[in-house]
Amino acid sequence: MSEQLAENIKKAENYLQRYKDQATGHFINGKSDSGSEGRTFENVTPVDNSSLGQVVEGTAEDIDKACTAAEEAFTDWSRLSGKERKKVLHRFADLIVVRAEEIAMVESMDCGQPIRFMKAAAIRGSENFRFFADKAPEAANGQSLHQDEHLNYTKRTAIGPVGVITPWNTPFMLATWKIAPALAAGCTVVHKPAEFSPLSAMILAEVSKEAGLPDGVWNTVNGFGDVAGKKLTEHPAIKAIGFVGETITGSYIIAQGAPTLKRAHVELGGKNPVIVFDDADFDRALDAVVFMIYSLNGQRCTSSSRLFIQNGIKERFLTALKERVSKIRVGHPLDPETEVGPLVHTSHFEKVLSYVDAAKEENATVAVGGEARKDLGSGNYFAPTLFTDASNQMKIAREEIFGPVLTAIAFDNEEEVISMANDTNYGLTGYVWTKDSGRGIRMAEAIEAGMVWVNSENNRNLPSPFGGVKQSGIGRDGGDYSFEFYMETKNICVAHGTHTIPVLGK
């Protein structure tokens, strides 16, 4: 064990002790809350599946209490000036930076993500707050739309208390990405974190208090999706649900919210293509292909899990790829050297492993990996895996595996690859590598996805729209798109006093 890993483990143990000493509860109306029934569930670390402590299982009553608090806090928070909200949200960002090390370590131990990525995730979380803090004063802005004898202008107002339901893959970053714009818009929030990774959400709740958010503006209820999550989507006080998670769950969210006519924004799964043409910048494309599936344990919605490689460079590219994949460092998530950590949970680990059998059954080649890394102990360690000789019809090319697993498929020409890339239920992202700029544009326009990168891995631009098409989701986050979701637009029409009013009964 390296000195650095030993030191990190020690630090993490200190940060994690409190979750062992006392069950992690909810945060409702500015106070920690141990739940109406006191039932708990065990939270384990993927490092060795040992306990990180108990977590309170939210009930319908707990959700009701949180939603009522959010409803009562809404009027004052939404009426606070944008400038004041901006100040509080900047304080929030500052406090995240102060606790960045703790957040990164807790997150790594809770969901298995390597510390090298989690350090950045904590800072990204604070950037999300800063970005939307700066936008808070302009959130109400609308348009002025002129007619000959009338002036129309629009303004936006916060929609009301909202529910935010997040997954386990990068829980801290995603929670900030969904909640910061809601607060900047003037909404109050009830957050339901994923049951596999509840810890960093409690740090956020504490930061909300310290930053000076009034009681009831931020509420967190832990627990399971089919009880706490479901009740949140059904609660009449909640006007909109921001959801990130699996496609099937997204459809439940919409159905559960329908009787109360809830607005829903669902960011769902993906089976994203990366297309590498013969003329691509070989080294840059290789770096990006490796990064976009093996970073974050492959547990990222935007990962490029289908590699389409043109036949002219196929042999050379796959040879280089195999070498790189076989050298990826799997290990303890707190080891700064680790590139792939353990998968979040044994159930997810089993699911990812099952695709190795699926690949073999359909005669794809397991070119690298394809097995548990038992040599690393009792955690959910899985060897980075590359399937070759695959077709787009195979299960490994159709289903979201959500692990460090890449399926490579050969192609001849543009037309063929567009057809294969789009032959999927999903449509979140696409990536194209070519030095021919015209082809880059043609491909970007032809790929059915909410976001396409040409000659780049996924990079972040906070004002840009983020979201998917087809079964990858409905709605967009980012910049003003987030405000469009969390706010209502009102049109106000004022006459110049010159137009003719139709006369009746005279």
Of the pair 113, 249, the CB lying nearest ligand NAD is at 249
Given a contact cutoff of 8 angstroms between Cβ atoms, the answer to whether 371 and 383 are in contact is: yes
* Beta strand ranges found along 234-377 (DSSP E): 240-244, 263-267, 272-276, 304-310, 365-368
Smallest CA-to-CA distance from 24 within 233, 205, 174, 166 is with 205
Residue 146 carries which side chain, given as an amino acid letter?
H
Given a contact cutoff of 8 angstroms between Cβ atoms, the answer to whether 295 and 121 are in contact is: no
Nearest distance from residue 488's CB to ligand NAD, in Å? 23
Measured in whole angstroms, the distance separating CA 240 from the mean position of its chain's CA atoms is: 17
Nearest distance from residue 312's CB to ligand NAD, in Å? 32
Neighbours of 69 (CB within 10 A): 25
Supply the residues annotated as catalytic: 267, 301
Per CB under 6 A, residues contacting ligand NAD are 165-169, 174, 192, 194-195, 224-226, 229-230, 233, 244-246, 249, 252-253, 256, 267-270, 301, 400, 402, 428, 468, 472-473
Given a contact cutoff of 8 angstroms between Cβ atoms, the answer to whether 272 and 429 are in contact is: yes
Torsion of CA 496, 497, 499, 505, to 10 degrees: 150
Of the pair 440, 467, the CB lying nearest ligand NAD is at 467
Nearest distance from residue 17's CB to ligand NAD, in Å? 25
Of the pair 94, 246, the CB lying nearest ligand NAD is at 246
- Give the whole-angstrom CA distance, residue 333 versus residue 47: 7
Query: How far is residue 424 from each of residues 226, 363, 396, 471, measured CA to CA in Å?
Result: 28, 20, 12, 9
Nearest distance from residue 41's CB to ligand NAD, in Å? 12
Of the pair 156, 192, the CB lying nearest ligand NAD is at 192
Q: Which residue is nearest to ligand NAD (CB)?
A: 225
- Give the whole-angstrom CA distance, residue 177 versus residue 195: 19
Of the pair 55, 376, the CB lying nearest ligand NAD is at 55
Query: How far is residue 295 from each of residues 11, 73, 305, 333, measured CA to CA in Å?
Result: 24, 40, 12, 12
* Beta strand ranges found along 13-77 (DSSP E): 26-28, 31-33, 40-44, 51-56
- Give the whole-angstrom CA distance, residue 379 versus residue 492: 59
Of the pair 208, 272, the CB lying nearest ligand NAD is at 272
Environment class of 324 (CB within 10 Å of its CB; exposed 0-12, middle 13-18, buried 19+): middle
Here the tokens at position 10 are 């020690």
Nearest distance from residue 302's CB to ligand NAD, in Å? 7
Nearest distance from residue 40's CB to ligand NAD, in Å? 16
Q: What b-and-e string marks burial along 200-218, b requiring 16 or more CB atoms within 10 Å of the CB?
A: bbbbbbbbbbebebbebbb
Q: How far apart are the first and last CA of the chain?
A: 94
Of the pair 244, 397, the CB lying nearest ligand NAD is at 244
Residue 69 carries which side chain, given as an amino acid letter?
A
Of the pair 311, 456, the CB lying nearest ligand NAD is at 456
Residue-by-residue DSSP string for 96-145: HHHTHHHHHHHHHHHH---HHHHHHHHHHHHHHHHHHHHHGGGTT---EE
Here the tokens at position 416 are 């063929």
Of the pair 45, 249, the CB lying nearest ligand NAD is at 249
